[in-house]
């Protein structure tokens, strides 16, 4: 069981780690993943229920809170409120900081202190204190809470940097009144540090909101109301009040309120929200429709089959949220660093100050050298002031935010883009592992072929009417596609079906039943041999000939005697050959796996350009075949219909469940493709590669920024203001770089 929690108050990767640790300690919690970008925690429980109040208490004990309501309107209001709050803080910060900058200009340009030294320092301290303790108060509170919980976060670095700078102003002000030794004031810089920090927070909040637009878009697709018929009367009800079996009237231009079956009328439906396919799909009586899709040009009556959280759209939203909350293996390294980042920086800032104080001559020479080409270095400040200058820069330039946002923002945009194109990534790890795949195993029926077989040949040994009537009557209770094809064909030829008794399906072989009291066997050749059914030689040869034409054959026996052959062909999908050719171009080896006989499987393989075939395997044996390939050192992707192939999908390094609309087995694979064609697999691979490329870019720049900037700050080469601006830019850069994923071309 899993539950998604909306966390309030997180600002950096350290915050996310604190929440994760707190939730992990709750009894019954199996696994926790906290996403800084979406501000959500995905909690996986052990078997049984869990006390949700315990989860809330754990989060609150870490200094954060849980937002209860997570419907789309609430989320949008919350996001708008966060953005407005961040904007107001930034506005107030600069409203107080700009006068600081104007007051400092005469001293910087003409070395003139306006109003005298005491007034100058008093103004600097007052305005900077206003910035720090009014718009910056939440940052100070966050720093205090995280310190009390022994899990210092980024707020601690900003608070210490700005308060330390403000303290130097107080010392300088006291000196002006003869109450303290002379000291260079950084009070003006204190206010600017907080102003830059709040500006970065605002831009980051805005960028994160845009990056999460995909999930919000999905949540707004649901219809609000439904027109239904109850007790013979037409009425309008809220979608939340719909029940299974309610009959809905859907007119042209309206959204289909929930998943259902068409029971009257026909139309074309825009299913692009579910499949990414722009062409409308024709719907007639008996067809399934998906809630949230748009009826275009005809009135239909639709009987509801799923409501609430069971609908296709609700499951897609849940899957995307869970994927965004999951972690990519490469993130583990970044997590280990961010967990110790702030404490290390605090120690490093203290070491910086101590080093400047212990080796003043050495560092002074560096300052003199740097002053020759860096305008903001002033060796005349004195050793103590220079030590503070360097330590403050170290505090404010080091930021774990970029590291914490690197993976989740890319994953958030990638999974959202995938959902819009019918590619549902269930596990974040799939993004990284898919690029390592070298072998692609494809189920034949429904993956390479249409999965809608039809009867092509009837080879009767007895009377053909009896053969077809008995075969169709026997298969009428079967759910196998071949059985359905035989029944459909017989009905189309005008045969009336008879009742059957003692029906038994033998997995992977056939069925046995009784029709009008006579025993009927239908299945493959080995099934007949086990039942000691003798097949004439010329008919055995016809079986071979038909199977060499990529047709599946079933043999029929009535009362222990051979009765004839029915052959069924499953058309190959239009894009299968091209997709398999693309697999090869990508360096992947495609392999067919099927329960069908080897001759039929090879005939299909030859048509689509596959050399290796694994045939005649039962559903539970497919996972063994996957395991054999893995034991050879191969990285295997299994592509199947997500139902019969579930064990193999689970065993594979990556399981890709392929299907259409509501037929998608949503829990089967690491990736679920809504469209039923192999070109979607190519799109999924392109999306995976593009997303992982962004993750690597983000992590590289986050690490590179810290590796380069921290040593410069330590040596006194980085102005604290530039340090804070660079820190904010690094986080913003990660978010905007991730958003560029939305421009990726996924065309197969």
Report the predicted TM-score, pTM, of the whole model to 2 decimal places: 0.68
**Alpha-carbon distance values, 727 to 142, 478, 615, 724, 743 (Å):** 18, 65, 58, 5, 26
Predicted confidence at residue 570, as pLDDT, reads 82
d(Cα 556, Cα 515) in Å, to the nearest integer? 13
Instruction: Tell me the per-residue pLDDT of 604-634, one tens digit each, with 9 for 90 and over.
Output: 899 899 999 998 887 678 888 999 999 999 9
Residue 519, pLDDT above cutoff 90: yes
Evaluate if residue 336 carries a pLDDT over 70: yes
N-to-C CA span, the chain: 36
Long-range contacts of residues 52-56, Cβ cutoff 8 Å, at least 24 apart: 52/3, 54/26, 54/27, 55/3, 55/5, 55/23, 55/26, 55/29
Nearest to 75 by CA among 40, 44, 42, 41: 40
Assess contact for 304 and 243: CB atoms under 8 A: yes
pLDDT value, residue 19: 87
Q: Has residue 70 got a pLDDT over 60?
A: no
Which residues sit opposite 381 in a β-bridge? none
pLDDT tens digits along 451-510: 778 899 999 999 999 999 999 999 988 877 788 899 999 999 999 898 888 888 887 788
Please compute the mean of the pLDDT values over residues 545-563 and round it to a whole number.
90
Separation of alpha carbons 126 and 395, rounded Å: 23
pLDDT digits 0-9 by tens, 563-578: 999 998 888 888 889 9
Q: Higher-confidence residue: 71 or 561?
A: 561
Q: What are phi and psi of 11, to 5 degrees?
A: -125, -20
Nearest to 547 by CA among 510, 482, 601, 503: 601
**Average pLDDT, integer, range 665-684:** 77
Say how far apart CA 493 and CA 92 lie, in whole Å. 81
Label residue 271 by pLDDT band (50, 70, 90). confident
Q: Choose the weakest-confidence range: 181-190, 205-214, 516-525.
A: 205-214
More confident residue, 46 or 59: 59
Q: Which two tokens stand for residue 729?
A: 């830019």
Residue 3 — pLDDT band, cuts 50, 70, 90? confident
User: What is the DSSP secondary-structure string of 250-312?
Assistant: E-TTPBP-SSEEEEE--EEEE-HHHH---S-EEE-TT-EE-TT-EE-SS-EEEEE---GGGSH
* pLDDT for residue 662: 36
* C-beta of residue 45 within 8 angstroms of C-beta of residue 28: yes
Nearest to 553 by CA among 596, 513, 520: 596
Q: Is the pLDDT of residue 450 over 70?
A: yes
Largest CA distance in the chain: 120
| pLDDT at residue 68 in the model | 66
| Contact assessment for residue 212 and residue 80, using Cβ atoms and an 8 Å cutoff | no
Q: How high does pLDDT run on average in the chain? A: 83
Q: Stretch 161-176: mean pLDDT, rounded?
A: 87
What CA–CA distance (Å, rounded) separates 338 from 263? 57
pLDDT-derived band at 227 (thresholds 50, 70, 90) equals very high
Is the pLDDT at 702 greater than 60? The verdict is yes
What pLDDT, on a 0 to 100 scale, did the predictor assign at position 25? 86
**Alpha-carbon gap, residue 667 to 55, rounded angstroms:** 26
Whether the per-residue pLDDT at 603 is higher than 90: the answer is: no
Cα angle 628-633-634, degrees, rounded to a multiple of 5:
80
Indicate the pLDDT class of residue 176, thresholds 50, 70 and 90. Answer: confident
Q: Which residues pair with 521 in a beta bridge?
A: 512, 557
Are residues 636 and 649 in contact, defined by beta-carbon separation less than 8 angstroms? no
pLDDT, residue 120, reads: 84
Share of the chain above pLDDT 70, in %: 89
User: Residues 723-735: pLDDT tens digits?
Assistant: 777 777 777 788 8
pLDDT attached to residue 49: 67
pLDDT given for residue 353 in this prediction:
92
Beta-carbon contacts of 65 under 8 Å, excluding residues fewer than 6 positions away, are 7, 8, 9, 56, 59
Q: C-alpha 544: how far from its chain's center? A: 47
Return the pLDDT at 514: 93
- Annotated active-site residue 443? The verdict is yes
Q: Which of 571, 555, 636, 642 is nearest to 608 (CA)?
A: 571
**708: confidence class by pLDDT, cuts 50, 70, 90:** confident
Selection from 585, 551, 581, 582 nearest residue 566 by Cα:
551
Q: Among the ranges 57-61, 152-156, 408-412, 579-583, which has the highest mean pLDDT value?
A: 579-583
Q: What confidence score (pLDDT) does residue 611 get?
A: 92
Q: What is the pLDDT of residue 312?
A: 78
Distance between CA atoms of residues 442 and 569, nearest Å: 18
Three-state SS letters, 4-59:
EEEEECCCCHHHHHHHHHHHHCCCCEEEEEEECCCCEEEEEECCCCCCHHHHHHHH
Catalytic residue among 155, 246, 270, 443: 443
Q: What is the mean pLDDT of residues 684-688?
A: 89
Average pLDDT over residues 18-40: 82
With beta carbons less than 8 A apart as the criterion, state whether 556 and 563 touch.
yes
Question: Helix %, strand %, coil % for the chain, to 5?
Answer: 55, 20, 30
């Amino acid at each position: 069981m899993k539950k998604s929690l909306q966390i309030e108050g997180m600002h950096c990767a350290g915050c996310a780690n604190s929440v994760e640790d707190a939730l992990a300690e709750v009894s019954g919690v199996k696994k926790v993943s906290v996403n800084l970008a979406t501000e959500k925690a995905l909690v996986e429980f052990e078997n049984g229920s869990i006390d949700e109040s315990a989860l809330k208490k754990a989060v609150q004990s870490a200094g954060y809170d849980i937002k209860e309501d997570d419907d789309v309107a609430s989320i949008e209001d919350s996001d708008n409120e966060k953005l407005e709050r961040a904007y107001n803080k930034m506005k107030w910060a600069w409203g107080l900081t700009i006068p600081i900058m104007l007051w400092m200009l005469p001293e910087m340009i003409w070395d003139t202190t306006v109003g005298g030294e005491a007034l100058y320092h008093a103004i600097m301290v007052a305005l900077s204190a206003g910035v720090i303790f009014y718009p910056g108060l939440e940052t100070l509170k966050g720093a205090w809470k995280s310190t009390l919980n022994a899990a210092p976060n980024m707020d601690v670095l900003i608070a210490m940097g700005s308060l330390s700078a403000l303290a130097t102003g107080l010392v300088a002000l006291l000196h002006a009144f003869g109450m303290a030794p002379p000291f260079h004031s950084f009070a003006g810089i204190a206010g600017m540090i907080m102003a830059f920090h709040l500006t970065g927070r605002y831009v980051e909040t805005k960028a994160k909101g845009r990056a999460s637009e995909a999930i919000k878009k999905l949540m707004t697709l649901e219809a609000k109301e439904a027109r239904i018929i109850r007790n013979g009367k037409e009425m309008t009800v809220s979608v939340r009040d719909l029940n299974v079996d309610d009959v809905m009237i859907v007119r042209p231009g309206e959204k289909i309120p929930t998943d259902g079956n068409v029971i009257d009328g026909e139309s074309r439906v825009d299913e692009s929200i579910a499949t990414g396919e722009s062409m409308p799909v024709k719907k007639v009586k008996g067809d399934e429709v998906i809630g949230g899709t748009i009826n275009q040009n005809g009135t239909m009556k639709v009987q509801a089959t799923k409501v609430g959280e069971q609908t296709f759209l609700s499951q897609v939203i849940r899957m995307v949220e869970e994927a965004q909350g999951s972690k990519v293996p490469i993130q583990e390294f970044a997590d280990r660093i961010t967990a110790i980042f702030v404490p290390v920086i605090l120690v490093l800032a203290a070491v910086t100050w101590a080093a400047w104080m212990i080796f003043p001559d050495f560092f002074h020479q560096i300052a003199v050298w740097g002053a020759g080409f860096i305008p903001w270095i002033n060796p005349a400040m004195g050793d103590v002031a220079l030590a503070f200058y360097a330590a403050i820069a170290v505090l404010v330039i080091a930021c774990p935010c970029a590291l914490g946002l690197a993976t989740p923002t890319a994953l958030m945009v990638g999974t959202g883009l995938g959902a819009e194109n019918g590619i549902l990534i269930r596990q974040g790890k799939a993004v990284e592992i898919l690029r390592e795949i070298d072998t692609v195993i494809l189920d034949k029926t429904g993956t390479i072929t249409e999965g809608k077989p039809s009867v092509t040949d009837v080879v009767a040994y007895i009377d053909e009417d009896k053969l077809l009537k008995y075969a169709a009557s026997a298969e009428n209770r079967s759910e196998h596609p071949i059985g359905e094809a035989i029944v459909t064909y017989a009905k189309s030829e005008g045969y009336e079906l008879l009742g059957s008794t003692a029906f038994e399906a033998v997995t992977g072989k056939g069925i046995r039943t009784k029709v009008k009291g006579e025993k009927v066997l239908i299945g493959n050749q080995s099934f007949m041999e086990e039942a000691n059914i003798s097949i004439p030689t010329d008919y055995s040869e016809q079986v071979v000939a038909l199977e060499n034409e990529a047709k599946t054959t079933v043999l029929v026996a009535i009362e222990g005697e051979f009765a004839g052959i029915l052959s069924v062909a499953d058309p190959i999908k239009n894009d299968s050959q091209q997709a398999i050719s693309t697999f090869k171009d990508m360096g992947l080896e495609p392999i067919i796996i099927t329960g069908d006989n080897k001759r039929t499987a090879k005939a299909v393989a030859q048509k689509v350009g596959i050399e290796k075939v694994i045939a005649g395997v039962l559903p539970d044996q497919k996972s063994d075949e996957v395991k054999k390939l893995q034991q050879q050192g191969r990285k295997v992707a299994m592509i199947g219909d997500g139902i019969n192939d579930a064990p193999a999908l689970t065993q594979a390094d990556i399981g890709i469940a392929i299907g259409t609309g509501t037929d998608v087995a949503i829990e089967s694979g690491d990736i679920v493709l809504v469209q039923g064609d192999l070109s979607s697999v190519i799109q999924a691979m392109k999306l995976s590669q593009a997303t992982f490329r962004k993750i690597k870019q983000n992590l590289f720049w986050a690490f590179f920024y810290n590796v380069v900037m921290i040593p410069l700050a330590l040596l006194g080469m980085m102005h604290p203001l530039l340090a804070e601006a660079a820190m904010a830019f690094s986080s913003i850069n990660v978010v905007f770089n991730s958003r560029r994923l939305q421009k990726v071309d996924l065309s197969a």
